[in-house]
Amino acid sequence: MSSHPPISSPDQAPPASSTPVQPTGASSLAGKRPASPAARAGRRSKASAVDGRAALLLAASKLFAEQGVESTSTREICTAAGLNPGAIHYHFGDKEGLYRALLLEPIEAMSHAFAGFDTPGLGLREALTRLLTPFFSAPEAVPEASIRLFLNETLRPSPVFAQAMRDAIAPHHHAMARFMARQIGCESNDPLVHQLVYGLLAMAHDYCMGRAFQDLITPGWLDAPGVMEDVRDRLIDWALALVELERQRCVIRATLAAERLAAGLPTTPVVPPTSDAP
């Protein structure tokens, strides 16, 4: 079996010859010297590395969405990306690292977009606007292959996806829970707070992930200029109403708890078992 000599970057094809070119002598030019071949090669290698990484992510997203992660080989991905077989190891370590990066890329972009929603002194409407607006980006901003991957993972989460969600999504969820808890007057670990956070995000998430479904049911209704901004503003109005509803619920619950405490009763009512309870 033949072998190629080592190459500087796995994104490049092997050179035609590995014979080094010897310098002919030191330059006698005064002043600023032109960049050396090594420096120019270094700049090209850096740009090539960025391009190679992006090419791998694009190729992998399409193949994973069509064939599944397990059924797609690293060689297939590198071939589709136009790179040699060592490219995945160079950029991501292995296929699992590539898949993790592919899952995290849109999450990190969205996280950056709604950063600062819990800035002290920010009004609730502005905070909700920062939270929900990233879900209403242009359809082309979220590739179809990425949407298909997330929908597949929603049905059958892989270990890589589960860990990525714990690392990247859970901290944001708990930050939102702490913010909403302050708005409605409950503890951030209260199930009511988590239900509110999930409910608010679910409204926007459906528009982000369900465009193809919506086009089947109501063709073209989201295509008019400005319609997505109108939908976002309507959802923000609904979100404000939901937050106020849960605030009132917390006030009522706290009042009842205080009354039970004054009466010497448990603050949490005991629900008697039904006849069909075990």
The tens digit of pLDDT for each residue in 48-105 reads 556 899 999 999 999 998 888 889 999 999 999 999 989 999 999 999 999 999 988 8
Q: What is the pTM of this model?
A: 0.70
Helix (H, G, I), strand (E, B), or coil: what is residue 217?
A: helix
76-85, 154-163, 195-204 — which is least confidently predicted? 154-163
- Same domain assignment for residues 88 and 111: no
Once rounded to an integer, what is the mean pLDDT over residues 235-260?
93
Q: Specify if 28 maps to a domain.
A: no
pLDDT band (50, 70, 90) for residue 144: confident
| Structural domain for 57, as ranges | 47-93
- Phi and psi for 249 in degrees, rounded to 5? -65, -40
- Same domain assignment for residues 225 and 167: yes
Question: How many domains does the chain contain in total?
Answer: 2
**DSSP string of 108-145, one letter each residue:** HHHHHHTTTTT-TT--HHHHHHHHHGGGGS-GGGS-HH
Q: Is residue 19 over pLDDT 50? A: no
Which CATH number covers residue 209? 1.10.357.10
Q: Specify if 36 maps to a domain.
A: no
- Same domain assignment for residues 82 and 126: no
- Same domain assignment for residues 165 and 211: yes
Distance CA 95, CA 74 (A): 6
- Same domain assignment for residues 68 and 205: no
Q: Specify if 275 maps to a domain.
A: no
- Same domain assignment for residues 157 and 254: yes
- Same domain assignment for residues 86 and 155: no
- Same domain assignment for residues 107 and 193: yes
- Same domain assignment for residues 89 and 166: no
Q: Specify if 16 maps to a domain.
A: no
Q: Specify if 128 maps to a domain.
A: yes
- Same domain assignment for residues 242 and 176: yes
Q: Specify if 159 maps to a domain.
A: yes
Query: What does the angle CA 160 – CA 104 – CA 207 come to, to the nearest 5 degrees?
Result: 110
- Same domain assignment for residues 244 and 110: yes
Once rounded to an integer, what is the mean pLDDT over residues 36-47?
45
- Same domain assignment for residues 194 and 65: no
Query: For a pLDDT cut of 70, what percent of the chain falls above it?
Result: 76
Which CATH number covers residue 52? 1.10.10.60
